Amino acid sequence: MNNDSRPGGRLDLASRVAHRKGQRHSDQQLTFDGLGPELIDVTFVVVDLETIGAKAGANSITEIGAVKVRGGEVISDFSTLVNPRAVIPPFITALTGISQAMVATAPGIEEALPAFFAFVGSRTDTVLVAHNARFDVGQLRGAAEAIGYPFPKIATADTLALARKAFTKDEVRNYKLSTLAAFIGAETSPTHRALDDARATVDLLHAILARLGGLGVTHLADLATAADPVPAKRRAKAHLADGLPRSPGVYKFIGPGGDVLYVGTSRNVYSRVRSYFTAAEKRKRIAEMVDIAVGVEAIATATVLEANVLEVRLIDELDPPYNRRSKRSQSRPWVMLTEEPHPRLKVARKITLEQAALALGPFGGERAARATIDVLNDATGLRSCTLKIPADGGLLPCHLAELGKCTAPCIAGDHQTEQREQVCEALSGAIQPVTAMALERVDVLAGSGRFEQAAEYRDRIFSLVRGGRSREQLVPVLAARRICAAHRVRGGWEIIVTDYGRLRGSVFAPDSGSPRAAAQALMERIEPLEAPQHATAHAPLDETQLIARWLWQEGTRLIEVDSDTPLAMRPDGATSIILPERDDGPDLG
């Protein structure tokens, strides 16, 4: 090992795309720079191995050579023969010049491997580089596993894959190390000896980085995706992220006519936007949008929740062509009782706050709502016909009465008091009793061999419980005149204020300040909203769901709540219900 600095000149990134980092905003929550360090500050350990051509393990490697560089300067190098304790084939000796006699007194892999990784070091900005890294790193991993050595967590880069991105087939006939080294004029020619080949790979790495710098590959995160099939024109657009906030916020991709193509959100707007140009976008529509875009605008927010809510509002307002989010979330169905002498369950699209106190939902669609009605009717015996029944009855019974599935209030004016009480209990959120009755029916159906019917009924129960859980989370938030809450995040507290399910404001309070004082100041500058006519009049349900999810996450603390509805889960509510597993369908938690 020595400090020979022959291979590689200074890392030339002069031709790279002009680049400015995203801007920090002192009044917003700060985030890590997701792009990592600039490449000129990264430590690269370029490694090459010679082997006997055997499967990766304790008896394959015959030589390890490596060069450590940073900023184009060689820091040190490493070279050692390794005794594979196996026969070296004659053709390997002819190719590399490494003979059995040369490795006879060399250390074994159990000694050489720890020495190599001690040379690599433990810096988090270190990248292990090899030409055809799949082979070299695979050999190192196999050897480590064979001797029980813990392989360190380290980023890797492959100059073979990167060279295919940096140099065209018109320039080089193939991507062998010897061909590429000759093309770039490497100071060291490959000789099939580990240290020489590592030195040649250093020169190749520097030439590649100089080429890719012109395509916006300037940071460690860029390098990780540099070999991805990203069109050069798209990579060159990375400068559109310049100056965007490195904080939570919303970004808008702007089209040639100034129209908004797409709205998104991120904890770190700058890093997220830049990733559209430097990583392979798997979504065809979004890739198309990025190629069309001519600019990106951003709005910094104090908290991540504020960014998420603003995204929902902007999508609802602007209807960008490349966003696929429903604009009609406020019209999702609920299940409630009709207002008549002999009430029945119905699907409602708009409900008041008073009605929400006795309603389940909102549901994802009408099918789930009607499945819930079927379960409630079946479990309680509440009438399900759509007849308008006079208070004292006097009508002819339908087939449901003849089958014993209804007490026939249409005949004698039975007000089904017991059935109504059971349904009202469920609509208030206490669905545990009716769910237990419904699950008993599933057991009966399955026990009699009617498995298909049992599965269908079980799926209806899932809809009921899903609606109950939605109600438990959303109704207390919709009914609250004001909620002020705080959640611990790195470096401080996120503090929010909501009125009737609408986010009114948020602030990030750093550890250096007083969270309670910040919360009080936020509440004082926000005028309360008047009670809405309809439960979702002040905010779309997408927004209220984001708020509810934020409030119910572990570690959130309530500072002030002004509401007649407890902000708590019922012990007999949907959250307490454990449903039988099923192979398909969403996980209900």
Structure tokens at 294: 């001519």
Report how far residue 478's alpha carbon sits from residue 531's, in angstroms, rounded to the nearest whole number.
10
Beta bridge partners, 51, equal: 61
Query: In the block, which residue shows the tokens 């398909």?
Result: 584
- Sort 330 into a burial class: Cβ within 10 Å, 0-12 / 13-18 / 19+: buried
Three-point CA angle 145, 149, 151, nearest 5°:
80
Identity of residue 331: S
Asked if residue 48 lies in contact with residue 244, where contact means CB atoms within 8 angstroms, the answer is: no
Active-site residue (options: 19, 192, 415, 534): 192
Report how far residue 294's alpha carbon sits from residue 534's, in angstroms, rounded to the nearest whole number.
41
In Å, how far are 329, 339, 346 from 336, measured between CA atoms?
18, 10, 6
What sign results for the dihedral spanned by CA atoms 305, 307, 313, 319? negative
Q: Under 8 Å CB-to-CB from 26, ≥6 apart: which residues? A: none
Q: Under 8 Å CB-to-CB from 12, ≥6 apart: which residues? A: 72, 206, 210
Cα 273 to the chain's mean position, in Å?
A: 15
Asked if residue 406 lies in contact with residue 400, where contact means CB atoms within 8 angstroms, the answer is: yes
Residues in the chain: 589
What sign results for the dihedral spanned by CA atoms 223, 225, 227, 232? negative
Is 192 an active-site residue? Answer: yes
- 543: nearest Cα among 334, 361, 327: 327
Task: Give the phi and the psi of residue 335 in degrees, each rounded to 5.
Answer: -115, 125
- 90: nearest Cα among 38, 50, 52: 52
In Å, how far are 133, 467, 535 from 476, measured between CA atoms?
55, 14, 11
Which string of b and e fits 297-322 if b means at least 16 CB within 10 Å? ebbbbbbbbbbbbbbbbbbbeeebeb
In Å, how far are 2, 40, 421, 574 from 588, measured between CA atoms?
60, 48, 27, 10
Identity of residue 347: V
H helix or E strand, kind and range, residue 285:
helix 284-292
Structure tokens at 96: 């590399």
Query: In the block, which residue shows the tokens 């959130």?
Result: 556
Q: Under 8 Å CB-to-CB from 42, ≥6 apart: which residues? A: 70, 125, 126, 127, 220, 223
Report how far residue 544's alpha carbon sits from residue 536's, in angstroms, rounded to the nearest whole number.
9
DSSP secondary structure code for residue 392 in this structure = T
Asked if residue 327 lies in contact with residue 305, where contact means CB atoms within 8 angstroms, the answer is: no
DSSP secondary structure code for residue 51 in this structure = E
Residues with a known catalytic role: 192
